[in-house]
A and B are shown apart, each in its own frame.
Chain A
């Protein structure tokens, strides 16, 4: 069939060229109309449900909110896991669905279950909201507002009612998370003393305010002619008007709201705060929709912001529109990759020209590059994959390879045409081109399939790594496949068009090849004299390389050079927003002094519907840098780390944004050993967890033992005295309601100012919500009219409560984690399990689960090994089919350790750290190496089987010399195409591909040297080629 394709292409070369031009044009068109993004969607399919439950403790949130939600969502089809966190005032339930499910359907199912839930949640809680479906990389932009002329309440109102709605209308924006500022409320601030003085209860004030601010429709009047809607106006909408609402009327006097409370606009109790360049402000995080195009959305946002700029400036408001702009990284990366493609392409062209010494052959070979890459791009875009750094990475590492098939083909055709021209009676060129093309066909086809096959296990990686690298693998495989198609169709067609009409085909070989061949022959002969010594030396060399491999460090991803860092700090739970901002101010001040830092901003606590659901003790900082090179960015990072390490009272972490997002996406604890203890009673769970931790500490090798979610949140416990309540005739809920109104606030209605709606809230003034004493003196009115203070009917005590309650599979759990040092995980797990079961007594309702990242990784590793084995067997079968000899096939495999050594040396030279990118590099390298080895060995086979040469030193040398140009060109082309990335790998867009490129270049150098010098000697010594070897099969295959 393949011969028919080649024959068709040579015969209908015009059609093939026309189709290629069409593909090229369409490729260009799609490239300019495609969306660009940073990373593929690497997050698992999750639906996150957040429920605000202001004023509730973690325990209350768990029982009253999280549990009903989990019950409602149990058993959904496609659910892989359900986890939850209950923290003060917030419930977060995370449903993870299998990757095979449709996320929109998943959300639909969740949404249906949530519909019936609103009745079961307590009053004032919720509603349970699904966090908008957002892209894995999440933030599209972070911007901020600050002002010296306006207060934080004005800024926040501006954001909530003007800026956010406008930004939300930009296509691709999923949500706006607003941090900081003061949310405006019309507050009726109770005066405890006056309530006592006038004998008014908190509830009476609440009722009066509710009746004053409620807004209800009034109906209409209708007669035979007209219908007129009744419109009731004159309700109190301002603080002054509200203060005039009657609270109590007696015969002699009238008591107004204003007599017992101060009515004024004031900030709502906050869940977060923000600062920009150490000054208080409002920070907005623009969240992108699932599969949104970061660049396009960024441009949309910027256009929207442009509309506001003049107004803000005139109003004395500073718009910080570049606190964080991920698009910068994409743009820089794309520019770098574009530069790489240009330089790489130029180098490829140069090599081709130098080796072929013929512009036409160089052009024929070069055509494979755009056509293969465009073909891969078109298929990817049709599959719905956005172009991102990983796709571009796949194409970039394929850049040097897609040209290989065409080079081999062109070089062979050119050589045969030259030989033909030198014949006394030249054959028809059509036949020569076909024959020459068919001659290398087997090596081209098998080699390409092998190169593709070695990539297949990469597509089966699980988790984030799988989702991240799948587009890279697919792009690479598609490009290689397309290059094969080009080599089988366009290359012979173009060769016939361009090469057969050349004038001096009888000319000698290209000068470079002519110069190299004798030198190579000499070297080869020298090496061939000591085959055993050479083999032993080389094998020893390889073993050294393999021996070094385990000594290399490992990381998931290399340091990304995004020009931006995110700092996290956490203090002990219970730290206030004010203190978090104060600490943050100090940190910002120090970090801003580091040269290269352009802007800093901070947010403490959380935002509504925000992805980060942390308490007020937690802060994140956006540190944006001037345009810096990779090494300079690293220097800034090191300085930031120094500052943070010296800072007291905080735990901190610095990451780039994308690393951060990937970390956040990896669900569950990342410690290698995790013991989950499931049960019902939290105290019992704590106790058992402590016992397990004690046993763990005693197991050899355990380090960094941590008890997760320990009690530590400072709480003020108000314990009602039921006897006293009974004496005074009070009901517990009345008291609780009063406490809630006083300290959390009771929303009694809304008022409108233009298009802005503000809550009217009854609450104590902020200065009376600061001390435990304020709680104790809260006025409580008894049914008989007596005024008490809370301390008269309840004891108030500061205690330490739980900050977070975790659930997995809708069950309570407490978790103990540790790292393992100095021994293998398997034996550690076995001993830990045995000792925990022996030494900790678990009642029937409590049970432990032994898991951890190590368990998950072991599973992934097992999967990878199985898939790699399968792919390896397929590769061996293909090799066997290509070489027709088990012995030769095994000898060809020797090239793999050859290449490994070079790759390992490259890793050592570039920092000694293996990442997933390195794995991809090695996989690519093995494919290329095998391809080169096949080319040599299959040529030997061709010489012996097809041309009838005897297998001896002369044939070995001739074959090697004939294959020298194509092997050298393909190796050089691949290596040089990678060179720009490898040389400047520590720069934006090249971080992931850099290690791959170094490994490929290193491996190619070692494997090509050994392939050219050692393999012929080995083949000569151990290889067997029979002139009669399966001619029928070969013939059949050729057809």
Chain B
């Protein structure tokens, strides 16, 4: 290419550069330095925003287990609040006896009757033996006296009488042993209290059992549970209906265990009503006799996170706080809680999971990105 051609090209480059440097800024209304400056500023801002976002995420993550308790707040603006459809309810006072659910069985009283019969027989036999022994002793004394005073009785007779007395003594002892055996057996099988009922003539309690006014219940607690000392009555129901369960009164610890459930066993008595021998019942045993006051958290309000149960409480319009109810007791219809959440708190009934999702939004993956 000739020189003038080259010159033209150089000139062209210069002109184009000039156009780029001067015309473009003129058209866009800003200088190149400003444009670069603005671009750099925007970039820095974006990087900072991204980093702070990541930092926030990390922090949140780290703090999960230390219970983010410092914060655990979710704030929704007016729009979000309107969209979320969150329903809340003022918590009312709730009274609660801590209870455990257990199995009970209506016992037959035939065994008790048999024992009572044995006991009575043994007692009669003992009385009989006592009379016989007394009679023998008297006979011996009479013969001995005659022998010593008049010698009108043959020694042989005295010896017979003595032998008879001794025999009666042994028999008496045997009857006593027998009676003691029955008593021991009764105590062994039914415990001191019921044994007393059996062995006490005209025992009112025993009579009520016999007349089927009362039924004797055999209650088996779940494994690893004990009956609190102060518990005097429990509630039982044939059909699992706690609300209509009737009272059963403590009788005594049972001596035997249930083959099905290997927990502690107790006897209770309850008015017979519609109970029939052999029936299996549900029973509710108070953990103690103390009436607790707190609130009832409905199941739908509870969310699980980090190994424990939580609820959200609305502190003010659009501001929600997550609170742990790990100490709560699972009861029918929800959880009884007497810590962390108080009467009058505005509990989130519907939308808890959404609030959890909002709080941990950083965990939501873009599913379509795979």
Contact A536 B80 (CB under 8 A): no
**Is A590 among interface residues, defined by CB-CB distance under 8 A?**
yes
Residue interface bits A545-575, CB-to-B below 8 A is 1, else 0: 0010000000000000000000010111111
Interface string of B261-300 (1 = CB under 8 A from A): 1100000000000000000101000000000000000010
Interface residue stretch chosen among B18-26, B145-153, B206-214: B18-26
Q: Which residues on the A side are within 8 Å of B76 (C-beta)?
A: 648
What sequence of 0s and 1s flags, for each residue 1010-1030 of chain A, a beta carbon within 8 Å of any chain B beta carbon? 000000000000100000000
Question: Nearest CB to that of A800 among chain B residues?
Answer: B306
* Surface stretch bound by B, among A145-153, A191-199, A209-217: A191-199
A647 touches B (CB below 8 Å): yes
Expressed in whole angstroms, the Cα–Cα distance for A540 and B13 within the complex equals 8
Q: Which of A179-187, A783-791, A937-945 contacts B (4 or more CB under 8 A)?
A: A783-791
CA distance in complex: A663, B20 (Å) = 38
A643–B85 alpha-carbon span in the complex (Å): 14
Contacts A787-B261, A821-B47 given; indicate if A648 touches B80 (C-beta within 8 A). yes
Do A544 and B24 touch (CB < 8 A)? yes
Known contacts A544-B19, A785-B260; A646/B80 CB under 8 A: yes
Shortest CB distance B43–A (Å): 4
**B308 contacts the other chain (Cβ, under 8 Å)?**
yes
> Given contacts A197-B103, A646-B77, A646-B83, are A571 and B364 in contact (CB under 8 A)?
yes
Q: Which of A809-833 contact B (CB under 8 A)?
A: 817, 821-822
Closest beta carbon of chain B to A774's beta carbon, Å: 9
Residues of chain B within 8 A (CB-CB) of A697 are: 51, 54
Q: Could you say which residues of chain B place their CB within 8 Å of the CB of A547?
A: 20, 24
**Which residues does chain B contribute within 8 Å of A646, judged by CB atoms?**
77, 79-80, 83
- Which residues of A are found within 8 Å of B304, using beta-carbon distances? 714, 772, 798
> Is A582 an interface residue when CB atoms closer than 8 A count as contact?
yes
Interface status of A669 (Cβ within 8 A of chain B): yes
Task: Check A798–B83 contact: CB distance below 8 A.
Answer: no
Asked, given contacts A786-B259, A787-B261, whether A705 binds B223 with beta carbons under 8 Å apart, the answer is: no
Known pairs A543-B20, A573-B363, A586-B84; A821 contacts B308 (CB<8 A): no
Please pick, from A536, A570, A582, A671, the residue contacting B367 in the complex, using a CB distance under 8 A. A570
Residue in B50, B84, B369 whose CB lies within 8 Å of A649: B84
The answer to whether A771 and B79 touch (CB under 8 A), given A539-B12, A648-B354, A669-B369, is no
Residue B118 at the chain A interface, CB threshold 8 Å = no
Min CB–CB distance A897 → chain B (angstroms): 11
Measured CA separation A646–B80 after assembly (Å): 5
- A381 to B: closest C-beta gap in Å: 35
Are A570 and B85 touching (Cβ within 8 A)?
no
Bin chain A's interface residue count. Answer: 35 or more
Q: With A579-B354, A614-B367, A798-B307 in contact, is A703–B80 under 8 Å at CB? A: no
B353 within 8 A of A: yes
Q: Which of A571, A708, A709, A792 meets B224, CB within 8 Å?
A: A792
Pair B8/A535 contact, Cβ less than 8 Å: yes
> Which chain B residue shows the least CB distance to A541?
B19
| Binary flags per residue of B94-114, CB closer than 8 Å to A gives 1, else 0 | 000000010100000000000
Q: Does A422 interact with chain B (Cβ within 8 Å)? A: no
**In this assembly, does A102 line the interface, its C-beta being within 8 Å of a C-beta of chain B?**
no
Contact yes or no, A648 B84, CB < 8 A: yes
Residues of B within 8 A of A193 (CB): 101, 103, 240, 282
Question: What chain A residues lie within 8 Å of B47 (beta carbons)?
Answer: 701, 703, 821-822
Q: Let me know if A649 and B354 touch, CB within 8 A.
A: yes
Q: Answer yes or no: A309 CB below 8 A from chain B CBs.
A: no
Q: Is the beta-carbon distance between A648 and B358 smaller than 8 angstroms?
A: yes
- Asked if A647 contacts B306 (CB within 8 A), the reply is no
0/1 string, B1-40, CB within 8 A of A gives 1? 0000100100110011001100110000000000000000
Among candidates A85, A586, A670, A772, residue contacting B85 with C-beta atoms closer than 8 Å: A586
Does B330 lie within 8 Å of A798, measured CB to CB?
Answer: no
Interface centre among B8, B306, B330, B367 (most CB of A within 10 A): B367
CA gap between A709 and B350 in the complex, in Å: 29
Contact check, A821 vs B46: say whether CB atoms are below 8 A apart: yes
Let me know if A536 and B11 touch, CB within 8 A.
Answer: yes
Q: Which residues of B contact A708 (CB under 8 A)?
A: 365, 370
Interface residue tally on B, bucketed by range = 35 or more
B305 within 8 Å of A by Cβ?
A: yes
Chain B residues with CB under 8 Å of A643's CB are: 83
For residue B356, CB closer than 8 A to chain A, the reply is yes
Nearest B residue to A799 via CB reads B307
- Residue in chain B with minimal CB distance to A537: B15
A87 → chain B, closest Cβ, in Å?
10
Q: How far is the CA of A274 from the CA of B45 in the complex (A)?
A: 42
Supposing A651-B366, A772-B304, A786-B260 touch, asked if A590 and B83 sit within 8 A by C-beta, the answer is: yes
A570-617 contacts to B, CB under 8 A, are 570-576, 579, 582-583, 585-587, 590, 614, 617
- Of the residues A540, A572, A587, contact of B12 by C-beta under 8 Å: A540
> Which among A614, A617, A663, A668 has the highest number of chain B CB atoms within 10 Å?
A617
- Residue pair A583, B240 in contact (C-beta under 8 Å): no
Which residues in B have their C-beta under 8 angstroms from that of A582? 85, 350-351, 354
Asked if B357 is an interface residue, CB under 8 A from chain A, the answer is yes
CB-based nearest B residue for A548: B24
Q: Is A773 an interface residue (CB 8 A)?
A: yes
The smallest beta-carbon distance between A58 and chain B, in angstroms, is: 13
Query: Which residues of the partner chain B approach A576 to less than 8 Å between Cβ atoms?
Result: 353
Complex contacts, A797 vs chain B, CB 8 Å: 307
In-complex Cβ contact of A571 among B12, B50, B80, B353 (8 A):
B353
Interchain CA distance A788-B225 in the complex, whole Å: 13
Verify B361–A651 contact, CB threshold 8 A: yes
Instruction: Report if A712 contacts B (CB, 8 A).
Output: yes
Q: Mark A662-701, 1 if CB is under 8 A from B, else 0.
A: 0110001111000000000000000000000000010001
Task: Judge if B222 is at the interface, Cβ distance under 8 Å.
Answer: yes
Q: Does A755 contact B (CB under 8 A)?
A: no
Closest to A583 in B: B354
Residue of B nearest to A705 (CB): B54
A704 at the interface (CB under 8 A from B): yes
Docked complex: A911-967 residues within 8 A CB-CB of B: none
Contacts A708-B365, A771-B299 known; A650 to B306 CB distance under 8 Å? Answer: no
Contact with A along B302-334 (1 / 0, CB 8 A): 001111100000000000000000000010000
Which chain B positions have C-beta within 8 A of A650?
Answer: 354, 357, 364
Binary interface profile of A, 633-664, with partner B (CB < 8 Å = 1, else 0)?
00000000001001111110100000000011
Given A544-B20, A703-B46, A798-B304, A196 and B261 touching (CB < 8 A)?
Answer: yes
Question: Is A544 touching B23 in the complex (CB atoms < 8 A)?
Answer: yes
- Shortest distance from the beta carbon of A952 to any chain B beta carbon, whole Å: 20
User: Is B230 part of the contact surface with A, judged by Cβ < 8 Å?
Assistant: no
A514 interfacial by beta-carbon distance below 8 Å = no
Q: In the complex the two chains form, is A773's CB within 8 Å of B353's CB?
A: no
Alpha-carbon separation in the docked complex, A587 to B358 (Å): 15
Using CB atoms, name the residue of chain A closest to B19: A540
Q: How far is the CA of A668 from the CA of B369 in the complex (A)?
A: 7
Complex partner residue of B364 from A196, A572, A671, A786, CB under 8 angstroms: A572
> Which residues of chain B are within 8 angstroms of A198 by Cβ–Cβ distance?
280
Using CB atoms, name the residue of chain A closest to B74. A648
Given contacts A193-B282, A771-B299, contact A648 B355 (CB under 8 A): yes
Top 8 nearest A-B pairs by Cβ distance?
A: A649-B357, A646-B79, A649-B358, A571-B357, A543-B16, A649-B354, A703-B50, A197-B280
Pairs A–B under 8 Å by Cβ, sample size 25: A196-B261, A197-B282, A536-B11, A540-B15, A543-B16, A544-B16, A547-B24, A568-B367, A571-B364, A572-B357, A572-B364, A586-B83, A587-B83, A614-B367, A646-B80, A649-B357, A650-B354, A664-B368, A703-B46, A706-B366, A712-B363, A773-B330, A785-B259, A789-B222, A799-B307
Known A786-B262, A789-B223; 19 more pairs at CB < 8 Å:
A196-B103, A199-B259, A536-B12, A539-B12, A540-B15, A547-B24, A568-B368, A570-B364, A570-B367, A572-B361, A573-B363, A649-B84, A649-B353, A651-B361, A670-B369, A705-B54, A792-B223, A792-B224, A798-B305
